Amino acid sequence: MTDDARLSQGSLLRRVPVPLGLHYFGREAIESAVQGTVFNVQSGLATLVAMGPWVLADTPGGREALRELVHPAYRDHVDAIEPDDRSIARTAPVTGVTAGGAEVQMKLTAWRVHDAGGRLAGTVLQTLPSVGMAVLGTLAGPGDAGHFARMQSVAKAGRRPAAILFADLEASSPLARRLSTASYFALGRRLVRAADQCVVEAGGLVGRHVGDGVVAFFLAADAGSESAAARACINAARALRVAAADVAARSDLEPGDISLRFGLHWGSTLYVGQIATSGRSEVTALGNEVNEAARIEACASGARALASKDLMERLEPDDAAALGLDPDRVTYTALGDLPTATEKARRDAPAIAVCDV
């Protein structure tokens, strides 16, 4: 079994063990294979129904012997199988279950492999998603393999220290009224694509898109250290600020028409994980620091990028120097004391110290 198939069967959480030497449809193999994987006893039955004619033809002792070999839940189904060793390929739909309990529709294709002398060498099984390649290409084609791997690493939610980036478009309502709906939609799409690209290139995880806003997380585990994660977060904000000017030019707008505000914060106890449903897959995080980062961003009016003291003091000298910053000489202002402080910021996070980056 390929490592990719093992990981897929393990709901992207782990590579399942391969029960070598066991009968594929036997009790021990089935029960060891279904624990914590996308397959269950029922999907194993669907595979047996599809491959049963071959299995029966290959079993010394015939039907009665096969009944004793398979999982007890399959024994009555053996009676409906007719042996066939002539066909070279079979296919069948299979339903699996993710770690979260959602059903996954797949297609199983199997074919016989013979050696140069025409003798049966084995059977190859290939499981494919039920959707076609056109849909898969649309979903995965524009994606980044490194980012998909980072998303996969948080398939199982857990505590993960990370830098948090919030970015939002200022004065979006007047801009939306000024532009046609089609033009404003195109602008939003360009901006989101640019933001995601900046996050991905900095080694971060793209979070939710809410309206004109973008959220991203830079995990210390991915970056190699807390300092590297903080540096990546600041770099992504700066890169997006530069990219916004290009978005404005491609949208026939002046650079000043696209003004972004940024809130950068550190989350020591973030609970980060992936949420996958039938409609989407995204990374999200829970924790007080997420709400605080949102409050910081809301106070960054005037195209400012405000970073919290908690984030800045994660920077080691080398990373700070690469950013042109000196955390030891920074002067901070309490969020509640900013002239741009919002009512929510004064209520929820007035004492958070921030500076411009």
Gap between the terminal Cα atoms of the chain: 49
Q: Is residue 138 part of a domain?
A: no
pLDDT interval class at 101 (50, 70, 90):
low
pLDDT 10s digits, 186-210: 999 999 999 999 999 999 999 988 7
pLDDT of residue 103: 73
The verdict on 175 and 308 lying in the same domain is yes
Q: Is residue 252 part of a domain?
A: yes
The verdict on 224 and 302 lying in the same domain is yes
Residue found under tokens 């540096």: 231
Number of domains in the chain: 2
Give the pLDDT mean for 287-315: 96
pLDDT of residue 355: 97
| SS3 call for 207 | strand
Domain boundary pick from 78, 100, 130: 130
The verdict on 56 and 150 lying in the same domain is no
Q: Is residue 140 part of a domain?
A: no
Q: Residue 77's domain spans which residues?
A: 3-130
The verdict on 124 and 227 lying in the same domain is no
Residues 288 and 267: their CA atoms lie apart, in Å, by 8
Give the pLDDT mean for 171-177: 89
Q: Is residue 10 part of a domain?
A: yes
**CB within 8 A of 187, min separation 6: which ones?**
175, 179, 247, 251, 253, 258
Rg of the Cα atoms in the chain: 27
pLDDT of residue 277: 75
Reading the block at residue 250, the tokens are 């491609």
Cα 329 to the chain's mean position, in Å? 38
Q: Which amino acid is at 287?
A: G
Domain boundary pick from 95, 130, 165: 130
The verdict on 209 and 282 lying in the same domain is yes
| SS3 call for 334 | strand
φ/ψ (deg, to 5) at 232: -60, -40
Reading the block at residue 173, the tokens are 């309502």
Give the pLDDT mean for 128-134: 81
pLDDT 10s digits, 260-282: 999 999 999 999 998 877 777 88
The verdict on 190 and 160 lying in the same domain is yes
Report whether pLDDT(50) > 60. yes
The verdict on 171 and 60 lying in the same domain is no
Give the pLDDT mean for 110-127: 90
Q: Is residue 115 part of a domain?
A: yes
The verdict on 151 and 85 lying in the same domain is no
The verdict on 177 and 316 lying in the same domain is yes
Least confident of 115-124, 271-280, 335-344: 271-280
User: pTM higher than 0.85 for the full model?
Assistant: no
pLDDT interval class at 131 (50, 70, 90):
confident
The verdict on 106 and 150 lying in the same domain is no
**CATH number of the domain bearing residue 302:** 3.30.70.1230
The verdict on 190 and 287 lying in the same domain is yes
The verdict on 259 and 172 lying in the same domain is yes
Report whether pLDDT(35) > 60. no
Q: Is residue 327 part of a domain?
A: yes
Q: Is residue 135 part of a domain?
A: no
- The mean predicted confidence, pLDDT, of the chain is 90
Give the pLDDT mean for 133-152: 85
Q: Is residue 136 part of a domain?
A: no
pLDDT interval class at 233 (50, 70, 90):
very high
